[in-house]
């Protein structure tokens, strides 16, 4: 990576760095991440997150390690609808394998080699009996025996350790009040912990890149409702995605701000998902990340960031901060996950029953979903509400865009008198007019 690319990346990551400090993230990873040696590089990313002040809870599985131990003992591996049937002998293998994985993770997080990403790392790991479990019992006539589910998460104890700067490590073992040990599904522990802790993010490190549409398109963002609808009509998702996606939906429906499905095969994938605009996996949110709303005085900086490059190119007439502040009530903004990515203004001329659509701008990085049409429809509705019969726009560069959306080229003489008096004949903007239907 070139020096200027590194600088640009840090600048783009700065808002995320500020936003994530002091936040709680729950990261779930299967035992294959440790088995295949990929947890070594993941420790570098975990170290960076802790250095930035993120409160981390890591939940690890141990499925391949369990099955290796069962194979060594000649035990049959049995599943029912994705859940391991855990008898007493299998439970012994579970306890041994989980302990083995936990020790490996703690040892890797303890590294502090000079001239490495872990140099001067000081990650203190806390593990314990934070999960109270109960048996799943009999499902479809199958006794799952020592396979259990989360009954309670000791959030007080976990938060105490997080507040003390420790990283909390949760395994897939849970303990009942009667002293029994249960084998728990990784996704259940991670989801229950994220919900109980009111985590800001739940991240599943999966075998696959994320969620795909029925047409094979990678979906980077989904609302909980969209994800539910996708699961209902498409059963072609990989096994781990079909396992994790319902948990992600459950998490955001119960208070977790965001859930992510990210491939653990991509080196640095966790950081790319968290600190870049588009990420590399699929993010699930309760509601749409985009909102269209009335602008406020706090939005002026964001509006100027959108408008000024086009003013410098001569595409838009220069407005200036003071004018925007005075007329902020005329603006609407399109916001994506807290960032202003579009704006538009409306200037009504009641005596002529006409309204001007002005300053329609979309961030160049977000021009792939016809968001301009969304802003146009919004202004059309505003104009109708105000009793306007026509909407007009002045442009020097985007004539075809307006024609494609029902505008007809007009003349300066057709403009309201007040607007005609302000028309800049040197700029020679073209006039486009659209009659509004009721």
Domain around 403: 290-435
* 373/234 same-domain check: no
Is the separation of the CB atoms in 432 and 408 below 8 Å? yes
pLDDT at 1 over 70: no
224-236 tens-digit pLDDT: 999 999 988 877 7
66-75 tens-digit pLDDT: 999 999 999 9
* 279/337 same-domain check: no
* 148/162 same-domain check: yes
CATH code for the domain in which residue 57 is found: 3.40.1160.10
Q: What is the pLDDT of residue 120?
A: 59
* 177/114 same-domain check: yes
Q: What is the pLDDT of residue 124?
A: 86
* 255/375 same-domain check: no
How many folded domains does the chain comprise? 2
* 251/308 same-domain check: no
374-410 tens-digit pLDDT: 999 999 999 999 999 999 999 998 899 999 999 999 9
Alpha carbons 229 and 226: distance in angstroms, whole number: 5
Instruction: Say what the pTM is.
Output: 0.79
Q: What is the pLDDT of residue 114?
A: 45
The β-bridge partners of 143 are 138
CATH code for the domain in which residue 301 is found: 3.40.630.30
Q: What is the pLDDT of residue 365?
A: 82
Alpha carbons 388 and 266: distance in angstroms, whole number: 54
13-48 tens-digit pLDDT: 888 888 899 999 999 999 999 998 889 889 889 988
> What string of DSSP letters covers 272-326?
HHHHSSS-SSEEEESS-SEEEEE--GGGHHHHHHHHHHHHHTTSS----HHHHHH
Q: Which residues contact 226 (CB under 8 A, 6 or more apart)?
A: none
* 199/299 same-domain check: no
* 301/182 same-domain check: no
Is the separation of the CB atoms in 130 and 160 below 8 Å? no
Last residue of a domain, one of 264, 285, 306: 285
Among 367, 31, 365, which Cα is nearest to 205's?
A: 31
* 277/294 same-domain check: no
Last residue of a domain, one of 250, 266, 285: 285
Classify burial at 38, counting beta carbons within 10 Å of its beta carbon; exposed 0-12, middle 13-18, buried 19 or more.
Answer: middle
* 301/220 same-domain check: no
* 278/198 same-domain check: yes
* 232/375 same-domain check: no
Give me 30's structure tokens.
Answer: 């299967």
Element (H, E) at 333: strand 331-336
Last residue of a domain, one of 285, 316, 346: 285
Q: What is the pLDDT of residue 311?
A: 86
Alpha carbons 405 and 383: distance in angstroms, whole number: 16
């Amino acid at each position: 990576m070139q020096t200027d690319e590194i600088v640009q990346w840090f600048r783009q990551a700065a808002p995320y760095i500020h936003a994530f400090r002091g936040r709680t993230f729950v990261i779930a990873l299967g035992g294959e991440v440790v088995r295949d040696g990929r947890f070594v590089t993941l420790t570098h990313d975990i170290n960076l997150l802790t250095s930035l002040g993120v409160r981390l809870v890591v939940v690890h599985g141990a499925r391949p390690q369990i099955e290796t131990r069962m194979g060594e003992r000649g035990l049959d591996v049995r599943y029912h609808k994705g859940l391991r049937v855990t008898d007493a002998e299998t439970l012994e293998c579970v306890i041994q394998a989980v302990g083995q994985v936990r020790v490996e993770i703690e040892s890797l997080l303890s590294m502090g080699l000079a001239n490495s990403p872990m140099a001067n790392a000081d990650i203190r790991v806390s593990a314990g009996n934070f999960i109270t479990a109960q048996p799943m019992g009999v499902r479809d006539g199958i006794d799952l025996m020592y396979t259990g589910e989360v009954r309670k998460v000791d959030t007080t104890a976990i938060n105490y350790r997080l507040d003390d700067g420790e990283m909390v490590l949760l395994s897939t073992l849970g303990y009942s009040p009667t002293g029994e040990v249960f084998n728990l599904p990784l996704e259940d522990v991670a989801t229950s912990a994220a919900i109980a802790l009111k985590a800001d993010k739940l991240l599943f490190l999966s075998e696959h890149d994320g969620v795909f549409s029925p047409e094979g398109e990678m979906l980077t963002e989904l609302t909980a409702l969209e994800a539910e609808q996708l699961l209902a009509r498409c059963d072609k998702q990989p096994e781990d995605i079909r396992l994790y996606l319902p948990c992600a939906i459950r998490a955001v429906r119960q208070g977790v701000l965001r859930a992510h499905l990210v491939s653990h095969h991509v080196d640095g994938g966790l950081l790319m998902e968290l600190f870049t605009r588009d990420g590399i996996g699929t993010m699930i949110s309760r509601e749409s990340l985009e909102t269209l709303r009335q602008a406020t005085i706090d939005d002026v900086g964001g509006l100027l960031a959108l408008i000024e490059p086009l003013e410098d190119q001569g595409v838009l007439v220069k407005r200036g901060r003071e004018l925007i502040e005075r007329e902020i009530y005329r603006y609407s903004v399109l916001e994506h996950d807290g960032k202003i990515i579009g704006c538009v203004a409306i200037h009504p001329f009641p005596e002529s029953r006409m309204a001007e659509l002005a300053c329609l701008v979309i961030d160049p990085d977000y021009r792939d979903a016809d968001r301009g049409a969304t802003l146009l429809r919004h202004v059309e509705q505003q104009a109708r509400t105000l009793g306007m019969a026509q909407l007009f726009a002045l442009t020097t560069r985007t004539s075809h865009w307006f024609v494609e959306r029902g505008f007809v080229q007009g003349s300066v003489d057709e403009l309201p008198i007040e607007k005609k008096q302000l028309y800049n004949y040197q700029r020679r903007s073209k006039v486009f007019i659209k009659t509004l239907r009721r």
